[in-house]
């Protein structure tokens, strides 16, 4: 079995020879840029993140620019990337850094972790990449490499399993070259030790890897126990009047918080006759399915439903994707933006 030293050596050697060094957030020590990339990369592929990362930085080159932006503009630039609480927390944290730290990102890992939306691993990554602190990381990629290498069984959502993984991560993280080591572990998980079909023949850890030796790659890391996915069924009221569409800004927290959507009703009653049914669809969230039946309504007053708070009317042609007419700086979830595009 590896000693921590030989594990580190192999991993750092791999980074020097094969590590990814050319992504837009590599080669910077700016904590704002590193933080932004770490948050965007959570649950999201690199190729999808790059254009969002670049557009975000072009509009908000500094953390103070982000702190001073309106929430609509922040959500607009995040629209389509999903997991919108990330954007809301990013905005909140930027405001705290601007106000409580005079716009300078804190260096202490504990102070970093106290900011909204930053967990222990992200705080460790920012502290190591920006400030050369010897802090460990444990994102999804690193969890996979460690679970396989050391045969740590069970789902990482269980506290005992997570504790074992953190203990290994802490033990193996070197006090020198921490940034290179952390980057290498992320790269190994993302490029070599992938979820399915890992490229063990390219892996610097193959010689001692528990999962490879025991033929347990598909069982490690342990999967989340399966539960039946709940389903929620709603109507979306597509109210179009004089080529203007009515949208409603959702409350700041919860699903799609702060984004603009169609007024929504639970499907507890049959569809009344004077609505026109549009094509229904299912949108999958990480923890449930949302079954949507859009209903075209010519006048909201005919529905007998009060206009919800925080509504506004927008010209339909603003949402025509072919004309690239994304001139309205508001945040829209992808299914809303697709439905608007099909109507405009």
Q: Which residues carry out catalysis?
A: 38
Query: CA-based Rg of the chain, rounded to a whole angstrom?
Result: 23
**Angle, vertex CA 241, rays to CA 238 and CA 246, nearest 5:** 45
Residue from 203, 239, 259, 330 that binds ligand SF4 (CB under 6 A)? Answer: 203
The CB-of-307 to ligand SF4 minimum distance in angstroms stands at: 55
- Residue 138 sits at φ, ψ, to 5 deg, of -155, 70
The CB-of-22 to ligand SF4 minimum distance in angstroms stands at: 22
Please, which residue, 210 or 236, has the CB nearer to ligand SF4? 210
Residue from 66, 97, 137, 149 that binds ligand SF4 (CB under 6 A)? Answer: 149
Does 169 sit near ligand SF4 (CB under 6 A)?
Answer: no
* 3-state DSSP assignment of residue 138: coil
Half-sphere exposure of 290 (CA within 13 A, CB side): 17
The secondary element (H helix, E strand) that includes residue 265 is strand 264-266
The CB-of-191 to ligand SF4 minimum distance in angstroms stands at: 10
Strands 264-266 and 281-284: what pairing? unpaired
Residue from 39, 193, 339, 340 that binds ligand SF4 (CB under 6 A)? Answer: 193
Q: Which residue has the tokens 């690199």?
A: 46
Residue from 96, 191, 206, 318 that binds ligand SF4 (CB under 6 A)? Answer: 206
Residue from 147, 212, 237, 295 that binds ligand SF4 (CB under 6 A)? Answer: 212
The CB-of-11 to ligand SF4 minimum distance in angstroms stands at: 10
**Angle, vertex CA 33, rays to CA 30 and CA 38, nearest 5:** 120
- Residue 266 sits at φ, ψ, to 5 deg, of -70, 145
* 3-state DSSP assignment of residue 261: strand
Does 343 sit near ligand SF4 (CB under 6 A)?
Answer: no
> Per-residue string for binding with ligand SF4, 107-146, x by CB under 6 A?
--------------------------------------x-
Determine the Cα–Cα distance for residues 203 and 219; give it in Å rounded to an integer: 18
Determine the Cα–Cα distance for residues 89 and 94; give it in Å rounded to an integer: 8
Cβ proximity of 171 and 199 under 8 Å:
no
- Residues touching ligand SF4, count (CB under 6 A): 14
Does 192 sit near ligand SF4 (CB under 6 A)?
Answer: yes
The CB-of-192 to ligand SF4 minimum distance in angstroms stands at: 5
Residue 315's beta-bridge partner residues? 244
Residue from 200, 240, 290, 343 that binds ligand SF4 (CB under 6 A)? Answer: 200
The CB-of-73 to ligand SF4 minimum distance in angstroms stands at: 42
Q: Binding to ligand SF4 (CB under 6 A): which residues in 81-100?
A: none
Please, which residue, 16 or 213, has the CB nearer to ligand SF4? 213
DSSP assigned state of 191: I
Please, which residue, 207 or 299, has the CB nearer to ligand SF4? 207
* Segment near ligand SF4 (CB under 6 A); pick from 33-41, 78-86, 173-181, 197-205: 197-205
The secondary element (H helix, E strand) that includes residue 312 is strand 311-315
* Segment near ligand SF4 (CB under 6 A); pick from 17-25, 199-207, 235-243, 315-323: 199-207
Q: Which residue has the tokens 């957030």?
A: 25
Length of the chain: 344
Does 209 sit near ligand SF4 (CB under 6 A)?
Answer: yes
DSSP assignment string, 22-70: -STTTT---HHHHHHHHHHHTTS-HHHHHHHHHHHHHH--SHHHHHHS-
The CB-of-8 to ligand SF4 minimum distance in angstroms stands at: 15
Cβ proximity of 84 and 258 under 8 Å:
yes
Q: Which chain residues interact with ligand SF4 by CB under 6 A?
A: 145, 148-149, 192-193, 198, 200, 203, 205-206, 209, 211-212, 217
């Amino acid at each position: 079995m590896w000693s921590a030293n030989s594990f580190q050596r192999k991993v750092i050697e791999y980074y020097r020879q094969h590590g990814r060094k050319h992504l837009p957030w590599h080669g910077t020590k700016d904590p704002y840029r590193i933080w932004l990339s770490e948050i965007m990369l959570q649950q999201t592929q690199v190729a999808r993140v790059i254009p969002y990362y670049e557009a975000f930085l072009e509009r908000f080159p500094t953390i103070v620019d982000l702190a001073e932006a309106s929430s609509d503009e922040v959500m607009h630039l995040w629209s389509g990337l999903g997991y919108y609480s990330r954007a809301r927390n990013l905005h909140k944290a930027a405001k705290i850094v601007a106000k409580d730290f005079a716009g300078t990102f804190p260096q202490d890992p504990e102070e970093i972790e106290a900011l909204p939306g930053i967990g222990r691993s992200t705080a460790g990554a920012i502290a190591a990449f920006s400030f050369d602190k010897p802090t460990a990381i444990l994102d999804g990629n690193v969890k996979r490499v460690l679970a396989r290498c050391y045969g740590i069984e069970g789902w990482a959502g269980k506290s005992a399993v997570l504790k074992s993984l953190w203990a290994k991560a802490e033990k193996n993280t070197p006090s020198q070259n921490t940034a290179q080591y952390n980057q290498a572990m992320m790269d190994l998980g993302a490029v070599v030790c992938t979820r399915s079909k890992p490229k063990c023949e390219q892996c610097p850890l193959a010689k001692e890897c528990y999962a490879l030796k025991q033929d347990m790659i598909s069982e490690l890391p342990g999967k989340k126990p399966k539960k039946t996915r709940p389903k929620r069924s709603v109507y979306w009221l597509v109210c179009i009047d004089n080529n203007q569409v009515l949208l409603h800004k959702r409350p700041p927290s919860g699903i799609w918080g702060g984004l603009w959507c169609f007024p929504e009703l639970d499907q507890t009653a049959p569809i009344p006759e004077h609505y026109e049914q549009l094509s229904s669809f299912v949108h999958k969230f990480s923890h449930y399915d949302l079954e949507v039946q859009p209903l075209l309504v010519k006048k909201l007053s005919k529905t007998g439903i009060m206009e919800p708070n925080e509504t506004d009317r927008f010209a339909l042609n603003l949402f025509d994707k072919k004309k690239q007419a994304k001139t309205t700086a508001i945040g829209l979830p992808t299914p809303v933006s697709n439905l608007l595009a099909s109507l405009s």
